[in-house]
Amino acid sequence: MVPTPADIAKFLESVHPYDSLPKAEFDCVARRFTCHAHGKAEIIYSCGEPVPGLFLVMDGGVEVTDAAGAVISQLHPRNSFGERGLMEDGFAATTARTLSDTLLLLLPSDEFRRLIAEQPLFQRFFARGRHAEPLRGDMSVQKVGDLMSSPPVTCTPQENIRNAARLMRDRRISSLGVVDDGHLVGILTIRDLSTGVLAEGLDPDTTQVSAVMTREPIGLPVEALGSDVLNLMLERHIGHLPVIDGGRLVGMVTQTDLTRFQAVSSTQIIHEIAKAQKVEELRTVTDHIPRLLVQLVGGNNRHEVVTRLITDVADAVTRRLIHLAEEILGPAPVPYVWLACGSQGRQEQTGISDQDNCVFIDDSFVESQRPWFEKLARFVSDGLHACGYVYCPGDMMATNPRWCQPVRVWRSYFQGWITTPDPMAQMLASVMFDLRPIAGSAALFADLQAETLDRASRNSIFVAHMISNSLKHAPPLGLLRGFATVRAGEHRNQIDMKHNGVIPVVDLGRVYALIARLAPANTRARLLAAQEAGVISGAGASDLVAAYDLIAEFRLRNQAAQVRAGRRPDNYLAPYEFGDLERSHLRDAFVVVRTMQSALAQRGSAPV
């Protein structure tokens, strides 16, 4: 039975984002949908063909495969598909076929594009945030949830003043939220203690908090902005503002929080690093990095800005440690350059990073000079560890004699890895292609980098092995539009946003850079340079950059939320704690990565 227009409209009322459209707009859109019946195993469109519009499954099921024939997802009623082609050049990057007898609703492409242009809700839902403009990182546009101290310290109205005062002293805070049966009923500040207790001569052992607290204090929701905090504090002459969610106290914003927020910036941190005379002083400065992460993410800065600024801090710490080491050891016996690899080398550090580094020494080096470099490596590596950049589990550090060698030895390393690309050689080459000079004579690396890229890109067997190696990290895609999460242990039902999130894109970027002999080490810069060089097609690069942006931003937002909750940030994210909209966008991003991996595997070094 063919659905009537009334049947289609009723179905659309249960599908987001159509259910949120104004009545007149909804009626107009519903009339533009047409219904199409398909038999089992029928191809709806193939890879490379024009996409006629946005498809919506009304009944039955659809399987979507990539260019290599690998299954990307299986779709069921209320799932949409085909929109990616419409967002770019109108041609499909995948193939869609029915799994059973299926009813599909089709929204013409012109109507889809009109909705994208005129309805912000549609733009956010289908465009995966590609064109979102970052906000400034100043305090006035920060969310209150990023400014507040959390979790709040509280007491009951019945608590006596002495115990409340001791609690504030022990916790080194200037206010307490007064909570009764889970709800905020007042706030007690140091000013209340001085004006309401000491000045009046009240007995702190018998006087209850309820007698002197500020009742029914003004509060703000977590969605409020920093400008709201500033305005209220100035207008009401107050220094403490509770943050309320559903009548419950979730945090407190004080003038101290605002001062601390303004003081924490990458520039200020680097300034403090440059003045440090001891490792202990450096550690005190790097303790501010989690707060810097929260501030940068809360300011809606793009992920490449956040990771660049955090990496700048690591670079500054490394250079300061090298300077302090040279003050102790004396000048280097021969020129050298200290290089970072891994996330620091790519300028992609987040709230959790180990150290990966090595040293290139001038070829005038003789073994009798090795003790100086060993002491340098040990001082710097130990200092980085003390500052939170923990030792590399794989011993990829300058303290390992293998990674502290003259340029001639490094040249032989790269030649051997390229000539004999066994699994270990591929792993080492992958790490070393991300090298970036931090301190010393950068010229020792520049010539070798250009030489190695040229030699490696001309070795088709090595390139093929690097392509194969880049496909070992798979996006966490499950069937039925789900995620492949960790099945057991501490991170059960979570996904690893490092190894299954950003690393697959990092690996793709590295291979593109190798094929085109591109110098950048940063992943996003590599993708854009690869597009410019013609290694990736315009549509492929646009999709992959957008997917990478979304995945990286999810990872950073999750880490910032962990810091705000008082936890140590990690790379694990629980996707099912997000709403359908965000979860759908994240999965779409993983689908793009999977598609680009398949395209690279199929086409080798040809443009994808």
d(CA 348, CA 302): 12
Q: What pLDDT score was predicted for residue 1?
A: 67
CB atoms within 10 A of CB 330: 9
At residue 96, does pLDDT exceed 60?
yes
Structure tokens at 151: 């979790």
Q: Say what angle helices 303-329 and 289-298 make with each other, to 10 degrees.
A: 160
Q: What pLDDT score was predicted for residue 356?
A: 93
At residue 28, does pLDDT exceed 50?
yes
Half-sphere exposure at residue 168, Cβ-oriented, CA atoms within 13 angstroms: 21
Hey, what amino acid is at 308? R
Q: What pLDDT score was predicted for residue 134?
A: 34
CB atoms within 10 A of CB 136: 11
CB atoms within 10 A of CB 447: 11
| Residue closest to 438 by CA, chosen among 338, 293, 309, 517 | 338
45 strand-pairing partners: 96
CB atoms within 10 A of CB 33: 23
- Where in the chain are the domains? 5-127, 139-259, 266-458, 469-603
CB 286 within 8 A of CB 268: no
390 strand-pairing partners: 354
Share of the chain above pLDDT 70, in %: 91
Specify which of 211-225, 348-362, 474-488 reaches the highest per-range mean pLDDT.
348-362
Which pLDDT band holds residue 67 (cuts at 50, 70, 90)? low
Hey, what amino acid is at 61? G
At residue 607, does pLDDT exceed 70?
no
At residue 176, does pLDDT exceed 80?
yes
Q: What pLDDT score was predicted for residue 132?
A: 35
Q: What pLDDT score was predicted for residue 65?
A: 77
Hey, what amino acid is at 11? F
At residue 225, does pLDDT exceed 70?
yes
Write out pLDDT tens, residues 512-526. Answer: 999 998 888 999 999
d(CA 12, CA 111): 15
Half-sphere exposure at residue 152, Cβ-oriented, CA atoms within 13 angstroms: 28
CA distances from residue 75 to 87, 102, 325, 423, 428 in whole angstroms, order as listed: 20, 11, 59, 37, 40
Q: What pLDDT score was predicted for residue 378?
A: 97
404 strand-pairing partners: 359
At residue 229, does pLDDT exceed 90?
no
At residue 574, does pLDDT exceed 60?
yes
Q: What pLDDT score was predicted for residue 188?
A: 94
Query: Tell me, which fold does domain 5-127 have in CATH?
Result: Jelly Rolls (2.60.120)
What SS3 state is found at 354? strand
Q: Summarize the confidence of residues 332-359 as an average pLDDT.
A: 93
105 strand-pairing partners: 35, 56
Per the model's pLDDT, the better-predicted residue between 25 and 374 turns out to be: 374
Which pLDDT band holds residue 324 (cuts at 50, 70, 90)? very high
d(CA 251, CA 148): 6
CB 547 within 8 A of CB 515: no
Write out pLDDT tens, residues 520-560. Answer: 899 999 999 899 888 888 888 889 999 999 999 999 999 99
Specify which of 136-145, 151-160, 244-253, 293-302 reaches the highest per-range mean pLDDT.
151-160
Which pLDDT band holds residue 425 (cuts at 50, 70, 90)? confident
At residue 332, does pLDDT exceed 60?
yes
Q: What pLDDT score was predicted for residue 291?
A: 86
At residue 304, does pLDDT exceed 60?
yes
pTM of the model: 0.64
Hey, what amino acid is at 175? S
Q: What pLDDT score was predicted for residue 377?
A: 97
- Do 5-127 and 139-259 agree at the fold level? no
Task: Tell me which H or E stretch contains 107.
Answer: strand 102-108
CB 582 within 8 A of CB 572: no
d(CA 122, CA 54): 12
Return mean pLDDT, the chain: 86
149: left (phi over 0), alpha (psi -120 to 50) or beta: beta
At residue 85, does pLDDT exceed 70?
no
At residue 92, does pLDDT exceed 80?
no
- Mean pLDDT is lowest, of 33-37, 154-158, 449-453, for 449-453
Q: What pLDDT score was predicted for residue 431?
A: 82
Identify the DSSP state of 172.
Answer: T
Q: What pLDDT score was predicted for residue 315?
A: 92
Share of the chain above pLDDT 90, in %: 48
d(CA 56, CA 33): 9
- Mean pLDDT is lowest, of 366-380, 415-429, 481-495, 593-607, for 593-607
Largest pairwise CA distance in the chain: 88
Q: What pLDDT score was predicted for residue 606?
A: 47
Identify the DSSP state of 244.
Answer: E
Q: What pLDDT score was predicted for residue 24?
A: 86
Q: What pLDDT score was predicted for residue 403?
A: 96
Residues constituting the chain: 608
Q: What pLDDT score was predicted for residue 141?
A: 63
The CATH number given to 139-259 is 3.10.580.10
Half-sphere exposure at residue 73, Cβ-oriented, CA atoms within 13 angstroms: 24
d(CA 508, CA 471): 8
d(CA 475, CA 506): 12
Q: What pLDDT score was predicted for residue 231?
A: 73
CB 397 within 8 A of CB 381: yes
Q: Summarize the confidence of residues 589-600 as an average pLDDT.
A: 93
Q: Summarize the confidence of residues 253-263 as an average pLDDT.
A: 71
CB 53 within 8 A of CB 161: no
**Domain 266-458 = CATH 3.40.50.12280:** no
Query: DSSP string spanning 254-300?
Result: EHHHHHHHHH--HHHHHHHHHH--SHHHHHHHHTTHHHHHHHHHHTT
Q: What pLDDT score was predicted for residue 69?
A: 63
d(CA 503, CA 290): 22
